[in-house]
Structure 1
Amino acid sequence: MIGKLDLYRVFSVVAKNSSFSRAAKDLYMTQPAVSQAMKQLEKELGTRLFNRTPKGVTLTTEGSLLYEYTNSALGLLVAGEEKLFEFKNLTTGQLKIGVGDTISRFFLMPYLEAFHTMYPNIKLQMFNGTTSEICNFIKSGEADVGFCNFPVEDLTLQLTVCTEVQDIFVCGEKYRTLETKSLSYEDLSKFPLIFLEKKSNSRKYVENYLFAKGIQIAPEFELGSHDLVLEFARSNLGIACVTKEFSKDYLQRGLLYELTLLESIPKRSIGMCYLKSVPLSRAATKFVEIIENKDERKRINRRT
């Protein structure tokens, strides 16, 4: 049995051709089948749509009214199909990413550049936040995928480790004499300390590790960004806990000095997360594939 939408498609073609026979050719149907379809539609609507004449058919007043709406509706369907095709082929669409400033700058940027080069018509929307905020962005649907400091304990999220990073302590010129010594965590706690704010996942990681070693820290400064932590250390306001991989420029230029610890803080991970229960958009799927493709990651890392 012909469905209601198909009946309207047949109706539209008959109306355009003013003929059952010409419509049948366009639709690759038999003329009796077209005629029967229009009788079925008229019966379901309870009104006559065509005036039948020896030369063909013309629309009744009711048929003309229905034709305007049918044409508009079918046009919207075609436009929707075309738009869906564009999304499928990534000629349009949107990718929403939750990520902090530091990870975006020092890890994610080359991947964003590579994705934009491959799919220039995909709009990128970034949501800035801490690890907990990024996870909330994902669970609320505001972001498709997030990049943050691990560990993350959430069974609703698919987690992928992207890279490992090392937390270190650094100082400016004022404390440079410490560079030649091997320091314990207890030694460090006697100096003014500069840390990220408490809600930062990287701060929690280091703080929990030190607490397990019997050291409870009371930072002199708690700041909202990694860049500020570096600048405060460079200004000799204290000894700062920073991520080594994100501080290379300061270390290489001699603006900061890495301190030697008797026991290094274990490395932690930066990773990607997205909802397990919700299928990713086509754009998000492609971006995740780039991140998870080891060969692509090596190529991007060599380039940067």
Structure 2
Amino acid sequence: MNDPDTMLNYLETLLKASNFTKAAESLYISQPYLTQLIKRVEKKLGTTIINRDKVPFTLTESGQIYYQYLENISAQRHHLRNELERFTSGGQEVIRIAILESLGTFLLPKILPAFLEKHPQVKIQISEGFPHASEERLLNEQVDCYMGQTPETLAQGLDARINGGEVYYIVIPQNSKYYIKDQFILEPGSYDLKELLMQPFVLSNGESAIRHQVNGLFQHFRVVPEVRMSSNSIITATNLAVNGVGFTVSSASILKRLQHLPINLYPLDPRQLRITYFIATKHGVKITPALQDLITAFQKAELQEEIR
């Protein structure tokens, strides 16, 4: 068994079923084959990988190491396949896009469907990551363009085209003393902003674009933030705040989906905190006609997000 993806699937199914016969049925293979496969792997490794003396089955410590090994091999194979795709796609153009995870769910559906309809021969590779990593990938020509926010902080050597944006809000959960029932968006002057900033917060971590801006807001009001929890994802931070873990600062494109929930949104002054979208390419690098069409599609798209 040399294929890591297949082996991962077999292990996951077996752990879920905690029964070799049921797992084999789900995998459309015979029970003896599955049993012998696991035994062969264990013999080759010289150790047991599955605790099967009691239900539910679990991975042994050795099994966890083997499972992580399979995951790493699988990830490396997929990464290699993506890296080679430009050279093995038989003339089919590949456009590699770096983007912030929180923006990808909003920006890409507004741009890619029409673009791909016009360019069915183009393949898209999406790489989600933090701003610094995405900029480095673009500067090293590991991607062809980068969609992000806050163009003012872009590294030298990158050319940005700007379009659209959105405002930020402080999310006030229902369990807060500042929560006002039956209101969604509060009036800007309904609370003293500095007082709100002194509450416990759930924030994205220091590498994120939004955290850099939020730190500036705290500094402007000379408040040392009480960070109850941090996350790699602003979407996760927003969901934690909505469920009462603390306040957070989030954007319209994320929050507009939450209008049915009992939360308040306190709008922040766009002069203090605002998202501006951009698409960037490396200066001096030749832009293909298809990539230029993608840039044009970005510039023409309606990307001004608001909560009404």
Answer yes or no: is the 8 Å Cα contact 1:183–1:262 preserved in 2. Answer: no
Answer yes or no: is the 8 Å Cα contact 2:167–2:270 preserved in 1. Answer: no
Displacement of 1:187 after TM fit? 1.0
CA distance in 1, matches of 2:100, 2:270: 28
> Are positions 1:248 and 2:286 aligned together?
no
CA distance in 1, matches of 2:260, 2:139: 41
- 1:74-100 per-residue CA deviation (whole Å, 9 max, x = no partner) reads xxxxxxxxx9xx96xxxx211100012
Q: Give the corresponding residue for 1:159.
A: 160
Displacement of 1:234 after TM fit? 1.8
CA distance in 1, matches of 2:287, 2:136: 16
Correspondence list, 1:204-283, <5 A: 204-250=212-258, 252-259=259-266, 265-283=272-290
Answer yes or no: is the 8 Å Cα contact 2:202–2:247 preserved in 1. Answer: yes
Rg comparison, structure with higher value: 1
Answer yes or no: is the 8 Å Cα contact 1:161–1:272 preserved in 2. Answer: yes
Displacement of 1:298 after TM fit? 4.3
Answer yes or no: is the 8 Å Cα contact 1:195–1:219 preserved in 2. Answer: yes
Q: Give the corresponding residue for 2:207.
A: 199
Under a length normalisation based on structure 1, what TM-score does the superposition of the two structures give?
Answer: 0.62
Q: Give the corresponding residue for 1:131.
A: 131
CA distance in 2, matches of 1:260, 1:289: 31
Displacement of 1:261 after TM fit? 6.2
Answer yes or no: is the 8 Å Cα contact 2:167–2:268 preserved in 1. Answer: no
State the one-letter code of the partner of 1:122: V
CA distance in 2, matches of 1:173, 1:285: 46
State the one-letter code of the partner of 1:117: E
Q: Quick one: structure 1 residues 261 and 102, their matched pair in 2 at CA, closer, same or farther if it must change by over 3 Å?
A: closer
> Are positions 1:187 and 2:195 aligned together?
yes
SS in structure 1 at match of 2:226: coil
CA distance in 2, matches of 1:262, 1:277: 37
Answer yes or no: is the 8 Å Cα contact 1:168–1:265 preserved in 2. Answer: no
Q: Percent identity of the aligned residues?
A: 13
Q: Give the corresponding residue for 1:140.
A: 140
Displacement of 1:140 after TM fit? 1.0
CA distance in 1, matches of 2:131, 2:143: 13
CA distance in 2, matches of 1:268, 1:190: 23
Q: Quick one: structure 1 residues 104 and 144, their matched pair in 2 at CA, closer, same or farther if it must change by over 3 Å?
A: same
Answer yes or no: is the 8 Å Cα contact 1:111–1:300 preserved in 2. Answer: no
CA distance in 2, matches of 1:242, 1:280: 34
Answer yes or no: is the 8 Å Cα contact 1:99–1:128 preserved in 2. Answer: yes
SS in structure 2 at match of 1:219: strand
Displacement of 1:120 after TM fit? 1.6
Under a length normalisation based on structure 2, what TM-score does the superposition of the two structures give?
Answer: 0.61
Displacement of 1:267 after TM fit? 2.2
Structure with bigger helix share is 1
SS in structure 1 at match of 2:153: coil
State how many pairs are aligned. Answer: 209
State the one-letter code of the partner of 2:214: V
- 1:27-53 per-residue CA deviation (whole Å, 9 max, x = no partner) reads xxxxxxxxxxxxxxxxxxxxxxxxxxx
Answer yes or no: is the 8 Å Cα contact 2:138–2:281 preserved in 1. Answer: yes
Q: Give the corresponding residue for 2:115.
A: 115
Displacement of 1:299 after TM fit? 11
Q: Quick one: structure 1 residues 198 and 300, their matched pair in 2 at CA, closer, same or farther if it must change by over 3 Å?
A: closer
CA distance in 1, matches of 2:149, 2:287: 21
RMSD (Å) for aligned C-alpha atoms? 2.7
CA distance in 1, matches of 2:302, 2:276: 17
